[in-house]
Every structure is written in structure tokens, then in C-alpha cells.
């Protein structure tokens, strides 16, 4: 029995390479936003006001509910938090 090896957990659970890339980006943004909130000392209510979302939405972010967030929403939240996003694109090793 041969085991398939994956370079990232998202590659293993996503149905397509495109979905895996999307999940990787969303995951990174969610972790950065959560880290920012932890370091800023904002309450969930304060963060919600800053990001223009509801407090339960912030709770979902902190709990890592990746399926509830699209890239656009996460980029908007990062910009509202004063975070700068840099992107690097490279050819796949495949």
C-alpha cells in the first residue's frame, strides 16, 4: 500500500489544487489577524467595530472557522486592522 505525501495539510484535505491554495491563503490571513488581535489587546467587540463585522464573526475568526471566510473578507479585515499584505507568486514544483 502506497501512501501519498503532501507538502501541506491543505493539499491533503482539499478536492483540488486551486482549493488548497485558497485555503492556504485564508489560513495565513486568519492566523495573522488572530495574532494581531492577541497583541493589540482589543476585545472581540472592539475588534468587530474596527473590522466592520459582528462580534460573533470575530469569534469565528479566532476559533479558526476557515469555511466561513473568503479571501476578500479577510483582506478587508486585515486592511481595517492596519496590516499590510505582501504576496509572492512562484511556479509550482510539480
- How many whole angstroms separate alpha carbon 94 and alpha carbon 80? 36
pTM: 0.79
- How many whole angstroms separate alpha carbon 19 and alpha carbon 78? 21
C-alpha cell at 63: 476559533
For the domain bounded by 24-80, which CATH number is listed?
1.10.260.40
Reply yes or no on whether the pLDDT at 6 is more than 70: no
DSSP labels for 21-41? HHHHHHHHHHHHHHHHHHHHT
Do the beta carbons of residue 25 and residue 72 sit within 8 Å?
A: no
pLDDT digits (tens, 9 = 90+) for 52-74: 999 999 999 999 999 999 999 99
> Which H or E element spans position 54?
none
Amino acid at each position: 500500500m502506497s501512501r501519498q505525501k503532501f507538502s501541506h495539510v491543505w493539499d491533503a484535505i482539499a478536492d483540488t489544487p486551486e482549493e488548497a491554495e485558497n485555503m492556504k491563503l485564508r489560513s495565513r490571513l486568519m492566523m495573522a489577524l488572530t495574532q494581531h488581535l492577541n497583541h493589540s489587546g482589543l476585545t472581540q467587540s472592539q475588534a468587530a467595530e474596527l473590522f466592520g463585522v459582528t462580534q460573533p464573526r470575530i469569534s469565528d475568526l479566532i476559533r479558526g472557522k476557515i469555511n466561513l471566510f473568503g479571501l476578500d473578507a479577510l483582506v478587508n479585515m486585515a486592511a481595517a486592522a492596519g496590516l499590510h499584505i505582501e504576496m509572492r507568486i512562484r511556479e509550482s514544483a510539480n
